């Protein structure tokens, strides 16, 4: 979505896309694309108990040959650069590097997530895949790091910039967050899978009648009992279009941004920057970040005092933070004001977009 905002909603770039993700056929996209896939034998054998080893083999060895249809597509399109999403890792990233070398044009890598986020691989191959990931970073003529944490972890580079995701534009007219007599409402919008879903379930389970929740998003990994209850009670509203979500957010009091505390999610939360944080800014509502001190959202919110923060994994402590916000309308308005200053000074979509235009333009002109 972040790159769609840069490449499709603004006129500065013209793109041609090659992908192995069949989801592209579910959308009417405003650009030329080609689709390539693995053969049916591969699709069958990766469903066996050897799938981790097979995927690891692909991560480490595939992508050194570019399909002829993609080479022809690129030659006909005459691109100035080749851009690929390099994190999390995929063998198609390596293929993008081969294509850039074949065309003798600059290679741009976007490091949005740490290499193993949502990746299937065998643990025994971890160090070799990470080595490929880091080696590709060094090969890039321009590396777009989604956060300071990502750039710090990947290390020195000849041309690496911190390139935050692009959130939605903030409306000109900002609705105040004055307290009313209605029940205090907390909302979350985003991925409800992985650790986020479990965190939300633990919090909602202990909620009292004077605080209610509205959850928007996909892939809830809740227990069957909780999913049924959340759906029937109207807590879980499913995934809705963004403009419809914006209208829903007019009726809530606080936005919740959970970040994982587990050791398994630490590197991911340390290096990523959640687009939903920036989308939240456009709703002009106070935010509570619930996550560890090292995650990018807590670090940024602390810098600008743009959100209340709970750095304790216990849902009871997070609930105490929500209750404190409910009782303090002045603090809620202060958070909104500080978040707006943060948005204008660093995260305005126009500024982020211009950074991309300048970086790629400078790469092309030398």
pLDDT tens per residue, range 40-88: 999 999 999 999 999 999 999 999 999 999 999 999 999 999 999 999 9
CA separation (Å) from 177 to 38, 59, 151, 333?
Answer: 51, 48, 36, 6
The answer, as to whether pTM is greater than 0.85, is: yes
- pLDDT tens track for 185-228: 999 999 999 999 999 999 999 999 889 999 999 999 999 999 99
Please name which of 134, 75, 76, 85 lies closest in space to residue 107, comparing C-alpha atoms: 85
pLDDT at position 170 is 86
pLDDT at position 366 is 79
179 band by pLDDT with thresholds 50, 70 and 90: very low
DSSP assignment of 168-210 equals PPPPSSPPP----SSPEEEEEEEE-SHHHHHHHHHHHHT--TT
What is the percentage of the chain residues whose pLDDT exceeds 70? 97
Radius of gyration of the CA atoms of the chain, in A: 22
User: What gap in Å lies between CA 50 and CA 233, rounded to an integer?
Assistant: 42
**DSSP element (H, E) containing 310:** strand 308-310
Assess contact for 104 and 98: CB atoms under 8 A: no
**Predicted confidence (pLDDT) at residue 1 exceeds the cutoff of 80:** no
DSSP assignment of 46-78 equals TTSTTHHHHHHHHHHHTTSS--HHHHHHHHHH-
pLDDT at position 176 is 54
All domains of the chain in start order, with CATH: 2-166+349-365 (3.40.50.2000), 184-347 (3.40.50.2000)
What is the percentage of the chain residues whose pLDDT exceeds 90? 94
Q: Please compute the mean of the pLDDT values over residues 23-36 and round it to a whole number.
A: 95
């Amino acid at each position: 979505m972040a790159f769609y905002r840069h490449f499709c909603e603004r006129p500065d770039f013209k793109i041609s896309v090659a992908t192995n993700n069949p989801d592209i056929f579910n959308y009417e996209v405003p650009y030329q694309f080609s689709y390539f896939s693995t053969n049916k034998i591969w699709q069958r054998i990766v469903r066996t108990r050897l799938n981790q080893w097979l995927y690891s083999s692909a991560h480490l060895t595939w992508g050194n040959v570019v399909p002829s249809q993609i080479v022809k597509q690129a030659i006909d399109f005459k691109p100035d650069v080749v851009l690929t999403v390099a994190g999390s890792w995929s063998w198609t990233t390596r293929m993008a590097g081969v294509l850039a070398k074949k065309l003798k044009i600059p290679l741009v890598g976007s490091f949005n997530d740490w290499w193993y986020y949502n990746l299937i691989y065998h643990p025994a191959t971890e160090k070799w895949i990470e080595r490929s990931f880091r080696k590709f970073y060094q090969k890039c003529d321009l590396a777009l790091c989604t956060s300071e944490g990502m750039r710090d972890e990947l290390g020195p580079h000849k041309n690496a910039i911190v390139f935050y995701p692009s959130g939605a534009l903030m409306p000109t007219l900002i609705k105040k967050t004055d307290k009313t007599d209605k029940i205090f409402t907390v909302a979350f919008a985003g991925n409800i899978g992985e650790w986020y879903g479990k965190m939300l379930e633990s919090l909602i389970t202990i909620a009292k009648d004077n605080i209610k929740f509205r959850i928007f998003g996909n892939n809830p990994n809740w227990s069957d009992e909780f999913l049924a209850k959340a759906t029937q009670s109207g807590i879980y509203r499913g995934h809705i279009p963004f403009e419809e979500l914006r209208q829903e957010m007019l009726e809530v009091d606080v936005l919740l941004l959970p970040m994982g505390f587990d050791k398994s999610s630490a590197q991911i939360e340390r290096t990523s920057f959640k687009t939903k944080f920036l989308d939240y800014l456009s709703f002009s509502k106070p935010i509570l970040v619930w996550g560890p001190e090292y995650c990018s959202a807590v670090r940024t919110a602390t810098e600008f005092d743009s959100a209340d923060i709970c750095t304790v994994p216990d849902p009871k402590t997070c609930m105490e933070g929500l209750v404190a916000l409910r009782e303090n309308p002045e603090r809620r308005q202060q958070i909104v004001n500080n978040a707006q200053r943060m948005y204008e000074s660093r995260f305005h979509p126009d500024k982020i977009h211009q950074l991309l235009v300048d970086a790629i333009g400078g790469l092309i002109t030398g």
